[in-house]
Amino acid sequence: MSDQFKALLLTRQSGVIKPQISQLSIDDLPEGDVLVAVKYSSLNYKDCLAVAGRGNIVRQYPMLPGVDLAGEVLSSDSPDYQPGDEVLLTGWGVGERYWGGLTQRARLKSEWLVPLPEELDALKAMAIGSAGLTAMLCVIALEDQGVVPDQGTVLVTGASGGVGGIAVALLARLGFSVAAVTGNRADDDYLYQLGAVEIISRAALETPCRPLEKQRWSGAVDTVGGKVLARLLAEMQYGGTVAATGLTGGAELTTTVMPFILRAIKMVGVEVTTCPIPLRKTAWMRLAKELPDSILEQVYQVISLDEVPQFSEKLLTGQVNGRLVVDLEL
């Protein structure tokens, strides 16, 4: 096993963030009890902000970005993992506070890892990644609040993105009637293929609204926040639930208590970074069983580590549908 490997290294010089493909050695890696040969990672919105030096995502430099990874254990000081085990990691601050997954080798804490479900390989796991895990956690949140298919249509915002697209596919597979919101109507065919029965322009949900609007949605997965979430809350059916998990449309939320106290709606926050391991394992097992290859193949494309900087800009400017999987062996 060579001690040398390739990684995307972020450095900061005079306040400017510089991404560079670098050759590192095993000795460069931080402390951890499991060494992993990374087969695939992925490129998420948060990763793109880190690569572009925006959003104050990275807490210290130098940094290897990448909030996801999947690969094979090379060595382990943990009784939970042995060489040859297939593992995956999402969240826990990797790529932000700790070195992340856009690298051919990673030394990690064993408590961050999850065994790769038998139904998945490393490629499929990263096609799902943090985005898919978030989508499944949103679905579970709706289920936990009693949202069922026969109550009416469920809305998914940001449906052209990684979280939204997988949420559309999962909900449709579970028998829900799904309306998908997108800012790019060129994605309509893609969203219909994922299972949406109705496509709504994002602009239609960004218009000013009254505290209570016509009741339309039994449940919703919101990845946008801001004005879109405000209107969404005003349009929820009596007793409906919104699983809120994003803020690409802004962190501010201008609303009133009226939908909550007059229609008994609920808003449930969904957080993936430090999601407890038991729930994390449950979500991964459901993803492995409920997201078929025929759907999964529609929501990702594979790129190389060298292509990460250019695709980061494309994703940030809305030029990418679905998921970007990074093949660390290319």
The CATH 3.90.180.10 domain(s) of the chain lie at: 4-116+299-327
- Distance (Å, rounded) from C-alpha 204 to C-alpha 137? 27
Which residues of the chain, if any, have pLDDT below 50? none
The answer to whether 179 and 155 have CB atoms below 8 angstroms apart is: yes
- pLDDT for the residue 321: 82
Amino acid at 51: V
Instruction: Name the E strands within the chain.
Output: 4-13, 16-25, 34-43, 68-76, 86-90, 105-108, 114-115, 154-156, 178-182, 198-201, 217-222, 236-244, 266-269, 300-304, 323-327
Helix (H) or strand (E) holding 78: none
> With b meaning 16 or more CB within 10 Å and e meaning fewer, what string describes 166-186?
bbbbbbbbbebbbbbbbbeee
pLDDT by residue (tens digit) across 184-234? 888 999 999 999 999 999 999 999 999 999 999 999 999 999 999 999 999
CA distance 165 to 158: 8
| Separation of alpha carbons 132 and 322, rounded Å | 10
- pLDDT score, position 220: 98
- Does domain 4-116+299-327 correspond to CATH entry 3.90.180.10? yes
Tokens for 282?
A: 């449950």
For the chain, the straight-line distance linking the first and the last C-alpha, in angstroms and rounded, comes to 18
Give the pLDDT of residue 88. 96
**Could you tell me which CATH number the domain at 131-269 has?**
3.40.50.720
Domain with CATH 3.40.50.720 in the chain: 131-269
